[in-house]
Structure 1
Amino acid sequence: MRANGLTVLDAAPQGIINVIHGIIEPARVCEQRWMIKKAEHVREVLSIQPAVKKRKTEEKDVLTFSSKDLERIQMPHNDALMVTLRVKYFDIKRILVDQGSSVEIMYYDAFRQMKLEDKDLAPVTSSLVGFNSQPKWPIGKIILPVKAGSVTKQVEFWVLKVPSTYNLILDRGWLHAIQAVASIHHQVLRFPTPAGQIEEVWKDQVMAK
């Protein structure tokens, strides 16, 4: 469409639409452009930086691993991360830290060695799916305190009555609860304490092998 030899696209716009800010009348466009250029010039001359509100931050509970951590590890290795922790009143060895598991598992042999009985279990209403994709029905579940260093958390275990090389499996739910970071390569578990310290639990490679 043409009007006086100009197409509609050539004509001056009726307004400029900006996100949120609305419509700017054409008469003010040149005025605002001049003001913007003037502000940029002043900023260059005086080296004025836009005001940025910075919040004071403190590095806290920084959990890191280094090559020095490998000095106590037999290398090379492809071991899983297995630790020893206090569960209720017992020091339980061969506890697998599995970040891919969705529930905490206690195997029945360990359950019985802790002098617990079937009557201590609460019922469960669903099955678990293992690595072989076959469903396994727990015989029940139980809540017990798990102590890592000076940090103790109540953990709900699903008890399985199947053979296993492990006594317990602790999953990402427990890791999140104690804010722990596990390094399989360095074979160590590190976590902050309420007192603001960093504690760690190392794997016993001899026990694991």
Structure 2
Amino acid sequence: MTESKAPGAQSSYEARKPQTRGRTRENTPLRHNFWVDLKELIAIPDVASRLKPPPKTNKRLGLRKTAWCVFHQVVGHNIRNCLALGFQLDELVRGNFLKDYLQEPQGALTTAAPTEDQGHEVPIHGEINTIAGGFSGGCTVSQRKKYAKGVMIVETQGLDLTLEPDLVFTKTNLRDVVSHDNDPVVISMVTTGRKVHHILMDQGSSTDVMFWLTFNKLQLSLDQVRPYVGCLYDFAGYQVEVRGNIQLCTTFTSDAASRTANIKYLVINAPSAYNILLDRPALNRIRAVASSRHMKMKLPSLEGIVIPMKSNQKDSKRCYENSLKTKRGVCSVTIQPPGED
């Protein structure tokens, strides 16, 4: 039986600290609805005297840079999703100290729904970004600085979406899909009068890649290759041999329609189970959207017709298995600039 305490007396309990960081019932406080705002509730002298203030810190506690927690007096999460305050208020409700401020009856308590802010008690020491390279943003330091500054400029001119249809994936697109374990989307396309298979929809790099073996199979001339300044490195830090870049007319076709676009490929000499890697530059240029769940890629034709391109699941699995056998598969590349202009 809980003993009542005199008003203003300091509570002797310590706030419960969750032992694990997983979203379980044990480390998630019960959410109570109060008829006063939480900021006003913790400011009431009788309530404030029973709360244990958290230790002060200058670190951001959470993922949201603009959210402010009145209880912690730091940014990172809001007071509604504050775990430390939630546990203490839960204890006070169980001790029958906040019955005059509750909206719901005592038996109607529910576990708070997990939110992305529930990991806010882990201090954020820094941020890790992805590596990138290729043509996006330029090849030199000054070009990339100009590109980075342009990110802060709000574009006022809208895109011309007059003939662009909605690219939607529905349940009907799953009818011809064999159940898979996160298979990559691998398609075929036509370039220089030849149909090229084993094209990976990568979306993880900022450059479109053609491998040297594919370049030779297409019987392309070295006169078409333009020099590329800079060095490329794979994810493990090994240097990748760059032969240059080439721009080719590439056609994406299906029974519905087709679309041709000029795509600039970076030609590299490295082992790969794929012939070409299509990444963000090409996909954005043709306005394509790929779905690994539906094993398809869709893009609009110039006439406004949706072009569905189905991934070959047998080729997808075969390429993935072969990529694991290569000694140094190219997973991602980054650029080392030669210097300023």
**If the length of structure 2 is used for normalisation, what is the TM-score?**
0.43
* Partners of 2:259 and 2:243 in 1: CA distance: 29
Corresponding position: 1:83 with 2:187: yes
Is the alpha carbon distance of 1:203 and 1:118 closer, same or farther for their aligned partners in structure 2, counting shifts above 3 Å? same
User: Structure 1: which amino acid aligns with 2:224?
Assistant: D
Shift of 1:131: 2.8
Shift of 1:140: 1.1
Shift of 1:198: 0.8
C-alpha contact (below 8 Å) 1:87/1:147 kept by paired residues: yes
Find the partner of 2:269 among 161, 166, 171: 161
Shift of 1:100: 1.1
* Partners of 1:60 and 1:136 in 2: CA distance: 38
C-alpha contact (below 8 Å) 2:240/2:269 kept by paired residues: no
Tell me the residue number matched to 1:117: 221
Tell me the residue number matched to 1:189: 297
C-alpha contact (below 8 Å) 1:126/1:137 kept by paired residues: no
Tell me the residue number matched to 1:68: 172
* Partners of 1:98 and 1:148 in 2: CA distance: 16
Shift of 1:59: 10
Structure 2: runs of 5+ lacking an equivalent = 1-161, 318-341
* Partners of 1:101 and 1:61 in 2: CA distance: 26
RMSD: 1.9
Deviations 1:150-194 (A, max 9, x none): 111101111111111000011111111111111111111111112
C-alpha contact (below 8 Å) 1:65/1:186 kept by paired residues: yes
Report matched runs for 1:8-157 at 5 Å.
61-149=165-253, 150-157=258-265
User: Structure 2: which amino acid aligns with 1:206?
Assistant: K
Higher relative contact order (CA 8 A, sep 6+): 1
User: Structure 2: which amino acid aligns with 1:182?
Assistant: A
* Partners of 1:206 and 1:186 in 2: CA distance: 15
User: Structure 2: which amino acid aligns with 1:185?
Assistant: R
Shift of 1:67: 2.1
Q: Percent identity?
A: 28
- Other structure's SS at 2:175 match: helix
- Other structure's SS at 1:75 match: coil
Shift of 1:195: 1.0
Greater C-alpha Rg: 1
Shift of 1:103: 0.6
Tell me the residue number matched to 1:173: 281
Structure 1: runs of 5+ lacking an equivalent = 1-57
User: Structure 2: which amino acid aligns with 1:96?
Assistant: L
Question: What is the aligned length?
Answer: 153
C-alpha contact (below 8 Å) 2:244/2:266 kept by paired residues: yes
* Partners of 1:147 and 1:178 in 2: CA distance: 10
**Structure richer in strand, relative to its length:** 1
* Partners of 2:316 and 2:296 in 1: CA distance: 13
C-alpha contact (below 8 Å) 2:241/2:270 kept by paired residues: no
**If the length of structure 1 is used for normalisation, what is the TM-score?**
0.68
Displaced runs of 4+ in structure 1, greater than 6 A? none
- Other structure's SS at 1:174 match: helix
User: Structure 1: which amino acid aligns with 2:273?
Assistant: T
Is the alpha carbon distance of 1:59 and 1:160 closer, same or farther for their aligned partners in structure 2, counting shifts above 3 Å? closer
C-alpha contact (below 8 Å) 2:163/2:302 kept by paired residues: no
